Structure 1
């Protein structure tokens, strides 16, 4: 348990930051899920639109420090490949 005033403040800040990051991760996962659902449906136009919507969200997660740049790039690449494979 935090004893010093500085440590108590740090604990409060960590709780706040954790909640914010959790919300960001959840939002990004929702966008990714929408892309995957569009891929499952087999409608290429819907999948492309969902992918275009998800891309900036993923990259925003990188700039906010929720995801590593390579992780976001890997996720984008794999989703793009799956969307491209829809005939």
Structure 2
């Protein structure tokens, strides 16, 4: 428990930021999982689902929730999976 007033405020601010970050990360993970399932399932709208997932990854990186290199790695992985599935 903090004794300093400014630290108490930082603790409140950090908790709000943590909750926002968790929401963004959770939404991103949901879209990525949906894209991976669409790739495996091979539906007609697979490219659209992957595009939405990539958009969510970019949004999380823009907000600073994940590092830009991590975002690039996740996007490349999805695109590679999609291209392998499309080729076969």
Does residue 6 of structure 2 align to residue 10 of structure 1? no
Equivalence map 1:1-87=2 (5 Å): 1-43=1-43, 45-86=44-85, 87=88
RMSD of the alignment, in Å? 0.9
- Normalized against structure 1, the TM-score is what? 0.93
Ranges of 4+ aligned residues in structure 1 off by more than 6 Å: none
Q: Which deviations, in whole Å up to 9, do the C-alpha atoms of 1:25-72 show, x marking residues without a partner? A: 0000001011011011023x3221111111111111111110101100
Question: Tell me, which stretches of 5 or more residues in structure 2 are unaligned?
Answer: none
Q: When the two structures are aligned, how many residues end up with a matched partner?
A: 86
